Chain A
Amino acid sequence: MPLLTPAGFVLGMSALSAACIGLAAVGIGLGQGFAAGKAVEGVARQPEAQGDILKTMLVGQAVAETTGIFAFLISMILLFVNPLVGML
């Protein structure tokens, strides 16, 4: 029996790439933190506009989150419904 079967190799590499997709979270964390920091600055300067600033910040952060959601979906597909194994 060979040390490394093709299916084992594909599964291992899928798991590895699914883990590497986690790097997408770095960018989202930085972006959302930056937005939150700017929102805090805005509230400190203009406390009466807190509601509007909060609303705008949440919507902006949700849009910034999109890339991370796509990365999450790809990693979920790789982990649970792996299409690469069927190609062997």
Chain B
Amino acid sequence: MHDLNNLGPRIIIGFGDGSIFVTETVIFAIIIAIVMSVLALWMTNNMQRQPKGKQVVAEFIVQGIYKLVEDTMGKHNSNFAPYIGTLFIFLLFSNSLGIFGFRPVTADVNTAFALSLTTAFLMQYNGIRTMGFIGKIKHMGSPYPFMFPLKVIEELSFPISLGFRLFGNILGGAIVMALLFTSLETASEALHLPIPLLQAVIPLPGNFFFDIFEPILQAFIFTMLTMVFISMEIVIHGVDHDH
């Protein structure tokens, strides 16, 4: 459960005078990365021509992500699917850590901004790759040159709002769950219950909403907006509209 007196993530390991430290965010992110890698390796070893068992699940996930990317970004941009899929699954795991009683990894502003800065880098890189540097400057200054500062502010605000949206939603859910658990703990202490019965059943709908529904929704929205932002940079001047 979230500690209400301290909003930041707990420091697990500190080096020296404590100015260099490793927080629980990093530890859980590494654990999630290891779990994802092991799952991917386990699901794809010993693949058959006739899929059965775990291979069906793996093919379902991969096909679904490729279909989503092709529907949103167009058929010719399906080479973004591995990154988008990894992002989606990582967000799914890291948002729903609260269901095990841990602090969600994305409830740390550093994680959310690392992910949104990756999106921003991909946006700018693909914009410059397709249009060229001069072409991108021209594109930002069209239709009128005085639009240029507005476009700069717009492109800066995309990653900021993307990062804060993810961070705020997950942190809000974690704080609401912590408040619920704290109030139920106080109530069951006041009623002198031998076992904390109130905390066992009542938070279940909250858990369902904040630890299952909201993570899926936020992971979907983050990946969806990433795809939209990247394809906004790639699709220029109505050249390719195949969706």
- The answer to whether the Cβ of A69 comes within 8 Å of any Cβ in the partner chain is yes
- A76 lies within 8 A of B221 (CB): no
Q: CB < 8 Å: which of A58, A63, A72 contacts B168?
A: A72
Q: Tell me how many residue pairs across A and B have CB atoms closer than 8 Å.
A: 36
What residues of chain A lie closer than 8 Å to B171, measured between beta carbons? 76
Bitwise interface map of A from 38 to 70 toward B, beta carbon under 8 Å scored 1, else 0? 000000000000000001001100110110011
Q: How large is the interface on B (under 10, 10 to 19, 20 to 34, 35 or more residues)?
A: 10 to 19
* Contacting residue for A73 out of B168, B217, B225, CB 8 A: B168
Contact status A69-B224, CB under 8 Å: no
Asked if B228 contacts A59 (CB within 8 A), the reply is yes
Q: Does B220 contact A (CB under 8 A)?
A: yes
Q: Given that A66-B161, A66-B164, A81-B7 are known contacts, is A72 also in contact with B172, CB under 8 Å in the complex? A: yes
Residue contact B164 to A62, C-beta cutoff 8 Å: no
Q: Is the CB of A59 within 8 A of B161?
A: no
* Contact A80:B7 (CB < 8 A) given known A66-B164, A69-B165: yes
Q: A62 to B7, Cβ gap below 8 A?
A: no
In this complex, which of B168, B171, B217, B220 has the most chain A Cβ atoms within 10 angstroms of its Cβ? Answer: B168
CB <8 Å contact, B165 and A73: no
B23 at the interface (CB under 8 A from A): no
Question: Does A76 contact B225, Cβ atoms closer than 8 Å?
Answer: no
Q: B111 contacts which chain A residues (CB < 8 A)? A: none
Measuring CB to CB, which residues of chain B are less than 8 angstroms from any residue of chain A?
7, 161, 164-165, 167-169, 171-172, 175, 217, 220-221, 224-225, 228
